[in-house]
Amino acid sequence: MLSICGNNALRELSSPGKSGSFFYLTHDDRYMIKTMKKSEAKVLLRMLSAYYNHVRAFENTLVIKFYGLHCVKLTGPAQKKVRFIIMGNLFCSEYTVHRRFDLKGSSLGRTTDKPESEIDGNTILKDLDLNFIFRLQKPFFQQFCR
């Protein structure tokens, strides 16, 4: 509650993505807020039961944690409704992030435009940029597969 409703302002992250959604980050980096279209909110609500069961069954899931889906009606002549979701920020960690990926599970247009020499810890890489071999100890691998 203090992260979002405290005296500190939210930080807007660069420009909206292809979906037109805006992203905001709390001052302590713990939570992200994303605006969403009505159709996106409906999809999320349809998935809610399965999502809840998955998160309950797998406490250490790598799936992002959603904390709330909200809708507010703006005042004024337009009285537009704004829907937004509050989610945990996966990048809030004691570990240094060397590479960031926006993975969608697609290959269409899923590479970054930057040359290798310009890629740093803040560059958002895409699906086809993920060219690592991951080696996990057997117990971690089994848990990851579960």
Residues 69 and 115 in one domain: no
Q: What is the pLDDT of residues 14-29, one digit of tens each?
A: 665 667 888 888 888 8
Q: pLDDT by residue (tens digit) across 81-97?
A: 999 999 998 777 777 77
Spell out the long-range contacts of 115-122 with Cβ–Cβ below 8 A and sequence spacing 24 or more: 121/96, 121/97
**Whether pLDDT at 54 is above 90:** yes
d(CA 45, CA 54): 15
Same domain? For 12 and 33 the reply is yes
Give the pair of three-digit tokens for residue 99.
Answer: 């590479």
Q: Are residues 111 and 126 in the same domain?
A: yes
Supply the pTM of this predicted model: 0.69
State which residues form the domain around 115. Answer: 96-145
Same domain for 73 and 103: no
